[in-house]
Amino acid sequence: MMSLSLIINPEKHWVEVMKKQFFVLLIGAGLLITGCDQFHHKNESIEDKHMVQKVLLNNANQLDIDNIAANLVVKYRVVTNVPSNKCDKAKADGKCFEVELSFTAKEVIKAKGWKIYFSHILPVQSFESDEFAVTHLNGDLHQITLNDEYKGFAEGETKTILFRALFWSLSEYDALPNYIVAASNTVAKVIESTRVKIDTDTGLEILPYVVPYLDHQKQFKRTAADSTKWLNSADLFTRNQQLGTEKLDVKHVIIPTPKSVQYDKNNTQLSVINGVKVDFGNVEQSGVSAALSRLSTLGLKTSEKGVLLKLAIIENKEQLIGSYQLDITDTAIFITGVDVNGVFNGLQSLASLITLGSTQLPLLSIVDEPHFGFRGLLIDVARNFHDKTFILSMLDQMAAYKLNKLHLHLGDDEGWRLEIPSLPELTEVSSVRCLDFKEEQCLVPQLGAGVDKTAAVNGYYSVADYQEILKAATARHIQVIPSLDMPGHSRAAIKAMAVRTKKYSIIEQTDKAEQFNLYDATDKTVYSSVQYYNDNTINVCLESSYAFVNEVMTQVKKIHADAGQPLTRYHIGADETAGAWLDSQVCKDFIANNDKGVKDMSELGAYFIERVAGILSDLDIETAGWSDGLAHTRKDNMPAVVQSNAWDVLFWNGQNKVHQLANRNWQIVISSPDVLYFDFPYEADPKEHGYYWASRHTNTEKVFQFMPDNLPVHAEFWLDRQDNPYETDDTTSPLSEGRRFLGIQGQLWSENTRNNDMVEHKIFPRLLALAQRAWHLADWAVPYNYHGAKYNQQTNTFNDLLRAERDKQWAQFANTLGQKELAKLELFDIDYRLPTVGAIIKEGKLHANIAFPGLIIEFLDEVEGAKKVEWQRYHSEIEVKGSVKVRSRTSDKKRTGRITSVNH
């Protein structure tokens, strides 16, 4: 006999049971009831019990679930982003958007007692339907149940739900896939019409059930004040014209740009048709083998008959780690580094000089060093998993462009991705998502994960996998900085340890049951995290929470040591959840009686961070974390070395907090969402993939424009998230004289990035511009004003001469991508984003251009009534007669870019 507790989880408040809905819940759960006395309540009537027995006769069986999954056609249509009086005024400043969710049955559906579970990033706050009810459960997970009025589907019949969710929806990829249909005593199935499809031409994900966004006012604008332009081919054509009409000669260009380059005045070339003969000198071969492997793949192979390539290390304490000198003469190539990292970087610059298919290298002399010591990339494998092979590929590309820090985000609410041998539950339970509301076999399917435990979005790195990553990183002079977010964003850890607690409680091993418990079972606090979880925050008042941290970090440190890359820095996350712990008796007792100086609930988050930082210090591990959490700590309670990832939004005067933390003498890694969040769209178009909470369009040029040493100055030439001018006031918290940042880091969060190709699409080619800004200090960059200043569109500190030089260098960079570097990415099977094509029709002729000159442009001229037409390659202006579409294509011709139409 199934008990009611399996339907209703009072601990998490997932289902509010009201008498009016009591029997609907029973029906939806599909209980097999032999007698209703077990459910008798003092307010229930005999008539109610007969009603339950009658309705359960039509309860869905497995054939019904299979039929619904195969034949129910779901359509998701955003009606409007314009708020109405039906929006909840108490939430999101009264902003909401409306969605029409429709269901069409291709075959008759008679069964009752089934439910649909679906993910929706923003919570549904209200709905309208005669036959269905929508409930927000937790995180992004929602439930659709059948009302008393539900009468089944006739063949071809369509039923709809109109619902409202917080804020707005501006992208067709806001919707999440894999709606799940389920009933009691059946195997849950994904509704086929909601599965992700892959476009065979572009390789991009498609959500066929999402109705295209077409309305500028209702579907494109965030608010009435939104000035963002929907990018079209004509505007893009105008923007691309700044690159000029002719391709530039870029065969000698290196990315990232070296500090100093002197070319031979006679433009003499060195032939390397026979490859190179390497003299390793005092350089360990293992320290440069990965760079030599890249050279070989690009066509410069090692050979006894080749040109001499002489490597050497000459230590110089006055130069930065990774500095080098590269000389190409008419007889040999010489690379001298201050360390093996420097020699490695010199080899990567040699690789950058190569144009595929060419056997000539220019004679030159390079003296080079990095601008920043920290040149990082974050890859989130927690929300959706990305496998070992993918990470190894990413390490190759990071090293190619001299990035040296991989921030690997391994733990969050939706998944734990690293094997901890002493705590197997972390990966046995929390590396997988399926439909198990007890969460003893897996986590519930957030982010549209579906029900398949073997799906690519699930998984983890075994110790052996992770150590292979560490060894590959070490060979490429990349430090791996792991992150397992705490105390917020910790749902995966909390649920796994709850399973462990239960396991040992059953066999009455109380010590083990309580050893690593992360939540207070008596805590009645009702809270909601930024991602709308009500149970994702570690209880910071439990000693077992710190025992867990110590155990995990001890294990991770050993894994690193055994792989030959010592764990010297760990990113704790440090995200907090406002309102957590307020009704925890454990925390109330702690506040009333502790010797840590913690006197108020508001201080608990900082206490956790400070204490965890102390645990790390005891393990000889330096602390890193996000700026918002670290800002609440007391400097005197933190270690001497702290890395703060500054993700404060620039157009909200984010530089103030960044500077305040820098003035604590902390190491600041600039991670500004305005420009360094690579999960954001490239362009402002609903068909672009990505979130957009801080930027609607972050293309490669914007990353190139970034001046990370001077955050407030961007107000002079960038706009806010609604493309309106903004002002920064840097007079209240300027940097202390001479203070500098440690470096910069690009971020790829993976909430709606479900496969490896989409990760590559979002990271590349922006990663090359990130590398440019991390390694090279542009001569057009405005130096920081340590006296503080205000900046806006009129202040003109970034004057016309500087802008002209920046744009000139961007044209060279863009040409280098189009003519050299993107072809190399193709060789390594990297699915970089192909830019959409700029185009106009003038006097009956098509004029087209592209952001990266050298890429292939194609067009389709569809004349009404004509036979099937084929795509043609565009070379120069050409007469067109019909409806015209354009797209780009890779140089290897394997993929195309997104198609856009050209207006006559």
Q: Under a CB-based contact definition with an 8 Å cutoff, are residues 527 and 578 in contact?
A: yes
Helix, strand, coil shares, percent, the chain, to 5: 30, 20, 50
The CA distance from 782 to 615, in Å, is 41
The CA distance from 469 to 492, in Å, is 23
User: Nearest to residue 295, comparing CAs of 340, 363, 343, 329?
Assistant: 343
Q: Under a CB-based contact definition with an 8 Å cutoff, are residues 488 and 614 in contact?
A: no
Query: Encoding tokens for residue 65?
Result: 């679930």
What is residue 835's DSSP assignment? P
Query: Encoding tokens for residue 685?
Result: 């178009």
Q: Under a CB-based contact definition with an 8 Å cutoff, are residues 669 and 640 in contact?
A: no
Bridge partner list, 318: none
Residue 573 φ/ψ region, left for φ over 0, alpha for ψ in the -120 to 50 degree band, beta for the rest:
left
Q: Is the peptide bond before 83 cis (omega within 30 degrees of 0)?
A: no
Beta carbons within 8 Å of 756's beta carbon, 6+ residues apart:
386, 387, 390, 456
The CA distance from 377 to 764, in Å, is 12
User: Nearest to residue 131, comparing CAs of 173, 160, 96, 92?
Assistant: 160
User: Nearest to residue 376, comparing CAs of 666, 754, 741?
Assistant: 741
The one-letter code for the residue type at 363 is L
The distance in angstroms from the start CA to the end CA of the chain is: 69
Bridge partner list, 888: 857
| Dihedral over Cα of 30, 35, 41, 44: its sign | positive
What are the helix (H) ranges across 147-277? 233-240
Beta carbons within 8 Å of 497's beta carbon, 6+ residues apart:
423, 425, 426, 516, 517, 518, 548
Strand locations in 635-774, DSSP E?
642-646, 667-670, 728-729, 743-748
The CA distance from 159 to 168, in Å, is 24
Catalytic residues: 576
Bridge partner list, 862: 883
Q: What separation in angstroms does the CA of 458 have from each of 429, 437, 439?
A: 11, 17, 15
Number of neighbouring beta carbons within 10 Å of residue 211: 16
Query: Encoding tokens for residue 882?
Result: 């019909």
What is residue 212's DSSP assignment? P
Query: Encoding tokens for residue 506?
Result: 């059953």
Q: Under a CB-based contact definition with an 8 Å cutoff, are residues 624 and 642 in contact?
A: yes
Beta carbons within 8 Å of 147's beta carbon, 6+ residues apart:
24, 129, 130, 131, 132, 133
Q: What separation in angstroms does the CA of 810 have from each of 537, 702, 712?
A: 44, 10, 21
Q: Under a CB-based contact definition with an 8 Å cutoff, are residues 663 and 739 in contact?
A: yes
Helices 388-400 and 340-353, interaxial angle, to 10°? 80
Provide the pairing of β-strand 728-729 with 743-748: unpaired
Q: Under a CB-based contact definition with an 8 Å cutoff, are residues 656 and 727 in contact?
A: no
Length of the chain: 904
The CA distance from 21 to 558, in Å, is 53
The CA distance from 196 to 177, in Å, is 6
User: Nearest to residue 68, comparing CAs of 6, 159, 140?
Assistant: 159
